[in-house]
Structures are given as structure tokens and as C-alpha cells.
Amino acid sequence: EADIYQTPRYLVIGTGKKITLECSQTMGHDKMYWYQQDPGMELHLIHYSYGVNSTEKGDLSSESTVSRIRTEHFPLTLESARPSHTSQYLCASSGPTSGSREDIQYFGAGTRLSVL
């Protein structure tokens, strides 16, 4: 069982509100990621971080921002939510695991965001 947590699980808000999606992991992983996933579609990387004070934009353009002040936390913020932001947001972290030379990504349960 992965130790990566996202809150809230579900969020319904009005247009123009500022929101922060929380993500925390207790595995000590340096690498963390945010993905956006619409129903029946593939995951799209929107932000990633390779360590404290390191953040980069992913492949999919996003109006959200992220911060990485502590290893275990990687919050995502939308300054002014719009209906086009309605989606599922998945946080992940990755690190080495026994039995594999490759890092394994562990995902949180996701936050389903609806902007009205």
C-alpha cells in the first residue's frame, strides 16, 4: 500500500474561487508529479518536481501552479477556477524499490474537481 495522500477527494466550487489541492507522501521520495485525467482518457503530466525548491511544467499546459517547500508536500493551486478546470487530478511520487532497477510511481487516490 502506497503512502501518498490527496485531499480533498471531491471538490465542487464556483467559478473564480481560489483552491489548493493537497498531496503528501511519507516515503521520502524526491520526485513528485501532478497529472490531469478526464474520463476515459490518458493521464497528462501538468507539473513535476525532482526535489525541494524544484518545480517544472509538464507536457499539458495548465493554469495551475505548484510549490515544493518540503519533501513530503506538493500542493497544487488554482488562483481562479473555471469550468474548464473540471477534471480528476492525480498526484504521484516515485522512488527506487527492491527488485527493480527502475523507479516505481505511486499514485494518490485523486481529487475530482468540479467547477460550476
Partner 1 sequence: KNQVEQSPQSLIILEGKNCTLQCNYTVSPFSNLRWYKQDTGRGPVSLTIMTFSENTKSNGRYTATLDADTKQSSLHITASQLSDSASYICVVSDRGSTLGRLYFGRGTQLTVWP
Q: Quickly list DSSP for 10-47.
A: EEEE-TT--EEEEEEESS--SEEEEEEE-TTS--EEEE
Q: 109: left (phi > 0), else alpha (psi -120 to 50), else beta?
A: alpha
Pair 113, 9: CB distance under 8 Å: no
In whole angstroms, the minimum distance from the beta carbon of 105 to partner 1 comes to 7
Q: Please, what is the Cα angle at 72 between 71 and 77, to 5 degrees?
A: 95
Q: Which stretch binds partner 1 (CB under 8 A): 12-20, 66-74, 78-86, 93-101?
A: 93-101
In whole angstroms, the minimum distance from the beta carbon of 31 to partner 1 comes to 8
10-39 residues in contact with partner 1 (CB under 8 A) are: none
50-69 residues in contact with partner 1 (CB under 8 A) are: 59
- Total interface residues for partner 1 by CB under 8 A: 26
Q: Is 106 in the site for partner 1 (CB under 8 A)?
A: yes
Residue numbers at the binding site for partner 1 (CB under 8 A): 2, 6, 40-45, 59, 90-92, 94, 96, 100-110, 112
